[in-house]
Chains A and B, each alone.
Chain A
Amino acid sequence: MLAYVVRRIAYGVVVVAGVLLLLFVLFFAVTDPNDIARRALGDKVPPDVIEQWKANHGYDKPLWPWQAADNLLFDHFRRMVTFDFGRSDADDAPIVDRIRRGIGPSLVLSVPMFAAGLLLGVVLALFVAFFRETYIDAAGVFVCVLAMSISILLYIIGAQYVVAKLLHWFPISGFDPAPDVVARFLAMPVLVGVLTGFGGDVRFYRTVFVEETSRDYVRTARAKGCGEGRIMLWHVLKNGMIPILTRVVLAIPFLFTGSLLLESFFGIPGLGSITVDAINGNDFSTLRTMVFIFSLLFVVGQIAVDVSYSLVDPRVRLE
């Protein structure tokens, strides 16, 4: 197992290096550093100001290794790999500080959303799978497909209008980390996040569970006198967890990155907002940092999925 994980980490390094190279090509080879500077400073600035800005941000070096030993490509890799992310192109704030401040709000939003979504998804899926091929199941399909078909933007705006503006139950947007009020700010985004996610989850989990109920071991369980409830909660759930894990474990690393749309619409200063602001503000140095972190988390998630397989399925051996 250790050898397997080491090999997977080696693959992961290749993936992340590929992402970094692609980022470099897109941000610095396709877009000229002069353009980046002009976007940050405006069009009508003298050339010496631009040169000064590039020097401050370390963008004044030649791009490629064959042009000079001290070049932008090596610099890009060195900075990312050593987590020396530098300063934002937009406002010169240190990127590391900003990430450190953003992780907290992202986690307090994404962890409850993930836990509630997973619990609701599995429970509802077991429920409709238990009542498979009845009206309850059909109604479940209708509700799930409806929930999946509506855009997240409609949920956000609808919730803000009805729940916040008309009913005044929760603030429209904003964030305050104080423990006694934080839940008021999180209730709506969590609800919207769960609503947008559960349709697809329930459909997927239901398919998994229904497939399991037709297996021979379920027939054996019935023949030994097992009740349907116990069959669902013990035999089927345990076997169904194997495919479900892929989806779930892969999502765990992204709890740190938060949700782009929810955070920016509800004004939660998490990593998702930082990313959206970076995109809107032509903040290349922040954006490349976020993409790099996403890719690292993705690789970690992939390895976690494989390891978790071997934990729930005794047939899986990592070699």
Chain B
Amino acid sequence: MTAVLEVEGLTTRFPFSGRRVPIVDDVTLSVGRGQVLALVGESGCGKSMTALSILRLVPKPGSVDGVVRLDGREIQSLPVSEMRQIRGHEIAMIFQEPMTSLNPVTTVGAQVVEAIRLHEKVRKPEARGRARDLFGQVGIPDPEARLDAYPHQLSGGLKQRVMIAMALSTRPKVLIADEPSTALDVTIQAQLLELLRQIQRDTGMAILLITHDLGVVNELSDHVAVMYAGRIIEEGTREEVLGSARHPYTTGLLRSIPALAPRGEKLAEIPGVVPSPDQWPEGCRFAPRCARAFDPCPERVPRPSGLSDSHRVCCHAVAEELAG
């Protein structure tokens, strides 16, 4: 697997009660060509911030450290003007809120045309023609007429399709999809995921899919990384993580899903709540809620233990099992 997008030691800090707290802490990821990596976690665990950090779109007063490689080229320290050439051109992103993510006073066609013309020297009529083709490609009915529609005239599902068309417009190498279907109703969700899968098959684009929905992970992803309180705590292929998860948090998550939980049993829940970033414990951040926590957990950060070439878990309990 050749990695298109590699992230190493990505750390994003925000000031929190007088300290700079790493909301994203030492995150390492890699997405291969034609692969879908799902980044999974609860709301507020830092998934979206990870995506924004990759594109250096973290709002002030956040700061980002770490290495980001696109096709082997380090991009984290590029000047802003060159970074702008990467955004939307080589790495495109779609967001969770299709309702508000489009400019309300500009036609959707003009917004796609803008995306094309920001990166390629093409004339407006030509860009418009491409926008129309893209609209057709992402399944927008009557694309020619829809080019001149304003966002408020389209449904949520159509708006998200416009966002996808915009993201695809310059044939990016990587698509970051931040909860692309969360705000939509269930049937539209399924259509949209199908569309993403089809696009990914057709274009061979790498997708970093950010979601909290393990059903979506199961549908779409090749690899899965599970995030908790700013850190990646387990990663592996879809089968490894969904089928033989080892981290107590991941297993807890899986047991709390009706479709995946054993029949006839009460759904499990993970006790407690995710602590806020200024109250994260020193060692393993899941320790206070973990049934298997023991001596080292609250003090030392667990290092990743390899279960296979691809499957890694950050857990003292798992590490001890493997050792002994």
Query: Chain A: residues with CB nearer than 8 A to chain B?
Result: 133, 215-217, 219-227, 235, 238-239, 242, 312-315
Task: Determine which of A215, A224, A235, A313 lies in contact with B88 in the assembled complex, contact meaning CB atoms within 8 Å.
Answer: A224
- Per the bound structure, the CA–CA distance linking A195 and B37 in Å amounts to 58
Q: With A216-B95, A217-B103, A225-B118 given, name 7 new contacts (CB 8 A).
A: A219-B57, A222-B57, A224-B167, A225-B88, A235-B103, A238-B105, A242-B105
Q: B60 contacts A223, CB within 8 Å?
A: no
Complex Cα gap A32–B221 (Å)? 88
Q: Secondary structure at chain A's binding surface: helix, strand, loop or mixed?
A: helix
> Which chain B residues lie closer than 8 Å to A222 at the CB level?
57, 87
From the candidates A239, A242, A312, name the one contacting B103 in the complex (CB within 8 A).
A239
Closest approach, in angstroms, between the C-beta of B146 and any C-beta of chain A? 14
Interchain CB contact under 8 A, A315 and B104:
yes
Could you tell me which residues of chain B, from 72 to 93, have a CB within 8 Å of some CB in chain A? 81, 84-89, 92-93
Asked if residues A225 and B101 are in contact (CB atoms below 8 Å), the reply is: no
Instruction: Report B153-176 CB contacts with A as 1/0, cut-off 8 Å.
Output: 000000000010011000000000
By the criterion CB–CB under 8 Å, are A223 and B103 in contact?
Answer: no
| Contacts A219-B57, A220-B95, A223-B92 given; does A315 touch B114 at CB 8 Å | no
The residue from A216, A312, A315 contacting B97, defined by CB atoms under 8 A apart? A216
Instruction: Check B89–A221 contact: CB distance below 8 A.
Output: no
Quick check: is B232 within 8 A (CB to CB) of the other chain?
A: no
Q: Most B CB atoms within 10 A — which of A221, A238, A313? A: A221
Task: Please give me the residue from chain B that is nearest to A241 by CB atom.
Answer: B105
Query: How many residues from B make CB contacts under 8 Å with A?
Result: 30
- Are B101 and A313 in contact (CB-based, < 8 A)? no
Q: Which residues of A contact B87 (CB under 8 A)?
A: 222-225
A223 to B105, CA, bound (A): 19
Q: Which residue of A lies closest to B103 (CB)?
A: A217
Residues of B within 8 A of A219 (CB): 57, 95, 101
A269 to B163, CA, bound (A): 58
Nearest CB in chain A: distance from B105 CB, A: 5
* A225 CB contacts on chain B under 8 angstroms: 84-89, 115, 118-119
> What chain A residues lie within 8 Å of B103 (beta carbons)?
217, 220-221, 235, 238-239
If A133-B60, A314-B152 touch, whether A226 touches B102 (CB-CB below 8 Å) is no
Given A225-B87, A225-B119, A315-B104, the answer on whether A220 and B150 have CB atoms closer than 8 Å is: no
Query: Which of A221, A223, A312 has most chain B Cβ within 10 Å?
Result: A223
**Minimum CB–CB distance for B156 against chain A, Å:** 13
Given A224-B88, A225-B87, A315-B150: A215 in contact with B118 (beta carbons within 8 A):
no
CB neighbours of B95 from chain A (8 A): 216, 219-220, 223
B106 at the interface (CB under 8 A from A): yes
Known: A219-B95, A314-B150. A224 touches B102 (CB 8 A): no
Complex Cα–Cα for A315 and B93 (A)? 26
* Known contacts A133-B60, A222-B57, A314-B150: A239-B85 contact under CB 8 Å: no
Which residues of the other chain, A, contact B100 by a CB distance below 8 angstroms?
A: 215-217
Q: How far is it, in angstroms, between the C-alpha of A11 and the C-alpha of B18 when the chains are bound? A: 56
A–B pairs, 21, beta carbons within 8 Å: A217-B100, A217-B101, A217-B102, A217-B104, A219-B95, A221-B103, A222-B57, A222-B87, A223-B88, A223-B92, A224-B92, A224-B114, A225-B86, A225-B87, A226-B118, A235-B106, A238-B103, A238-B106, A314-B105, A315-B105, A315-B152
> Are A239 and B104 closer than 8 Å at their CB atoms?
yes
- Which of the listed residues B86, B89, B115 has the most CB atoms from chain A within 10 Å of its own CB? B115
Q: Is B55 an interface residue (CB 8 A)?
A: yes
List, in ascending order, chain B residues with CB within 8 A of A312's CB.
Answer: 105
Residues of A contacting B101 in the complex (Cβ-Cβ under 8 angstroms): 216-217, 219-220
Q: Which of B29-47 contact A (CB under 8 A)?
A: none
Provide the residues of chain B in CB contact with A216, threshold 8 Å.
95, 97, 100-101
Q: Are A223 and B106 in contact (CB-based, < 8 A)?
A: no
